[in-house]
């Protein structure tokens, strides 16, 4: 019976915490050099600034579409909700590419974080239309490391 409980807990655990975001500051603890490079060189680390510049020029509904690409985890469980409720997720952070980091941070197990990337990870935000409109191509593997 105890073995069955452990198996069930192991299977259900990812469903409860795998979609929880911790924010890039949470990654800094173990990945200081990557965090420093990301915050120093990546425009993603300051992406909320673009929202701040545009918020008075567009409707609240249009603004919400900006959150999808300029914050971490917007519209997903445990992701960005608002500046007041989830300020630690206000920028496009590590977890946008690497996936929600709570379980990885708790266990330090690399199995619980995305380490291999494909263009499909970039495509929700870097659509052809947006690349043309904003003249910004995704730099696969080039954002922070």
CA distance 84 to 91: 13
What gap in Å lies between CA 130 and CA 114, rounded to an integer?
A: 25
Extract the tokens encoding 83. Answer: 């500046």
Residues 6+ away with beta carbon under 8 Å from 92: 44, 45, 47, 69, 70, 71, 72
Decide if 98 contacts 113 (C-beta within 8 A): yes
Which structural domains are found in the chain, ordered by start?
Answer: 21-115 (1.10.1130.10)
What is the reported pTM?
A: 0.78
Q: What is the structure's pLDDT at 88?
A: 97
How sure is the predictor about 14, in pLDDT bands with cuts at 50, 70 and 90? very low
27 or 122, higher pLDDT: 27
pLDDT tens track for 70-128: 999 999 999 999 999 999 999 999 999 999 999 999 999 999 999 988 878 888 888 87
> Given a cut of 70, is residue 2 above it in pLDDT?
no
Q: What distance separates the 2 farthest-apart alpha carbons in the chain?
A: 60
């Amino acid at each position: 019976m105890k073995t069955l409980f452990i198996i069930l807990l192991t299977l259900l655990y990812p469903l409860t915490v795998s979609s929880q975001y911790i924010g890039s500051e949470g990654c800094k603890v173990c990945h200081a050099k990557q965090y420093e490079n990301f915050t120093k060189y990546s425009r993603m680390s300051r992406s909320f600034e673009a929202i701040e510049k545009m918020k008075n020029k567009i409707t609240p509904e249009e603004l919400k579409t900006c959150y999808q690409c300029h914050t971490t985890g917007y519209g997903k469980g445990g992701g960005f909700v608002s500046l007041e409720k989830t300020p630690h997720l206000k920028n496009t952070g590590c977890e946008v590419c690497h996936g929600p980091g709570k379980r990885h941070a708790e266990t330090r197990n690399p199995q619980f974080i995305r380490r291999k990337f494909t263009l499909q990870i970039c495509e929700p935000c870097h659509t052809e239309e947006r690349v043309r409109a904003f003249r910004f191509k995704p730099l696969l593997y080039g954002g922070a490391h």
